[in-house]
Amino acid sequence: MKEAYLYEKQEHDRVRCFLCSHRCVIKDGEKGICGVRENQGGTLGSLVYERVIAAHTDPIEKKPLFHFLPGSRSYSIATVGCNFRCLFCQNADISQMPADHRRIFGEEMSPEMIVREAIRSGAETIAYTYTEPTIYFELALDTARLAVKEGLRNIFVSNGYMSRECLEEIHPDLHGANIDLKAFSDRFYKKQCGARLDPVLNTLATLKELGVWLEVTTLLIPGLNDSEEELRMLSRYLADLDPDIPWHISRFHPTYKLLDAPSTPAETISRARDLGYEAGLRYVYSGNLPGDEGEKTFCHHCGELLLDRFGFTVRKNKIRDHRCPKCGESIPGVWE
């Protein structure tokens, strides 16, 4: 068992994990909320180190990251487990495997093997995604450090529940992140996800402070987080943090334990995008709506079409030297 990073030993063989904002105190022989970190005789260990459940090469647009090396490929990995219990999880078969089935599976893959595979696939980045990268932090951090030495960059696709200590540890080797801001109400986070809102907001602010490129995704679920008032508050919060944060508003389809809510109407996504722009955000996108106008990037200054996308495919990229070719405005993002 790999000894965990970011924990402290306490009396009576207890440990306190401070990798994520649950900050679990774990007795000998027990696991934390994520189900993949176990106290064995007063030492906390990761049960998923080098146990990769998914590894694919994806377009970076799938993360989604729209302002980070557009058109490039991202070698994407995950282990099982998550520190959230979202009723609408789209990857519950792997993220909730330890909680629902008390099982931990994964193919043995060392950081060296992951980096080698990433290079072989032609990817420019490694994405830690599909489940929650925080809970396989030891594997992610060791891989990220090695990846940087080999000229790759690293991306987290995360629920944003990591602790500040976790972000401070990884940020020199973390280049981009897409964080889910699942709602703007603590009630939603408690009831639907088994978590709290404030730690996620703290993560968004910390990532900006540490200089990590940040994009945000919100999955709109009819009747649960799509009221005009809530979306106004959420988008104002993002715009106050930085109007250049790209906000992805994604369409929900019934899944996992949330089968009685309807799919999000396209008009709701469109209205949410309008609210985002009204709040002052400059780049607001639609997700899970292939062919929608909201997949494209337009210059925030002159409205020129800069990136023409269809689904996860970039059909045209007109950005040159970080700038709009028509008006010369600098376009926020990581372009090369």
Binding stretches for ligand SF4 (CB under 6 A)? 17, 19-20, 22-24, 32-34, 37, 83, 135
Closest approach, Cβ 24 to ligand SF4, in A, equals 3
Using CA atoms, how far apart are residues 59 and 122, in angstroms rounded to an integer? 11
Closest approach, Cβ 93 to ligand SF4, in A, equals 20
Among residues 83 and 288, whose Cβ is nearest to ligand SF4?
83
Using CA atoms, how far apart are residues 288 and 297, in angstroms rounded to an integer? 16
Report the amino acid identity of residue 141. Answer: L
Nearest Cα neighbor of 283 from 203, 220, 213 is 213
Among residues 17 and 141, whose Cβ is nearest to ligand SF4?
17
DSSP state of 16: E
Give the pair of three-digit tokens for residue 99. 């909680």
Closest approach, Cβ 264 to ligand SF4, in A, equals 29
> How many CB atoms neighbour CB 240 within 10 A?
10
> How many CB atoms neighbour CB 120 within 10 A?
10
Among residues 59 and 199, whose Cβ is nearest to ligand SF4?
199
Among residues 203 and 286, whose Cβ is nearest to ligand SF4?
203
Q: Across-strand partners of 218?
A: 249
Give one word for 304, left, alpha or beta, with left for phi > 0 and alpha for psi -120 to 50.
beta
Closest approach, Cβ 194 to ligand SF4, in A, equals 10
* Angle, CA of 75, 80 and 86, to the nearest 5°: 105
Among residues 32 and 106, whose Cβ is nearest to ligand SF4?
32
Among residues 45 and 176, whose Cβ is nearest to ligand SF4?
45
Closest approach, Cβ 27 to ligand SF4, in A, equals 12
- Direct distance between the N- and C-terminal alpha carbons of the chain, in angstroms, rounded to an integer: 39
Among residues 33 and 147, whose Cβ is nearest to ligand SF4?
33
> How many CB atoms neighbour CB 254 within 10 A?
13
Residues 6+ apart with CB under 8 A from 320: none
Among residues 32 and 176, whose Cβ is nearest to ligand SF4?
32
Closest approach, Cβ 232 to ligand SF4, in A, equals 31
CA separation, residue 259 to residues 32, 38, 84, 270, 329 (Å): 28, 32, 18, 23, 45
Closest approach, Cβ 166 to ligand SF4, in A, equals 9
β-strands 37-40, 43-46: how paired?
antiparallel
β-strands 305-310, 297-298: how paired?
antiparallel
Query: By beta-carbon distance, which residue lies closest to ligand SF4?
Result: 32
Q: Across-strand partners of 219?
A: 250
Closest approach, Cβ 195 to ligand SF4, in A, equals 10
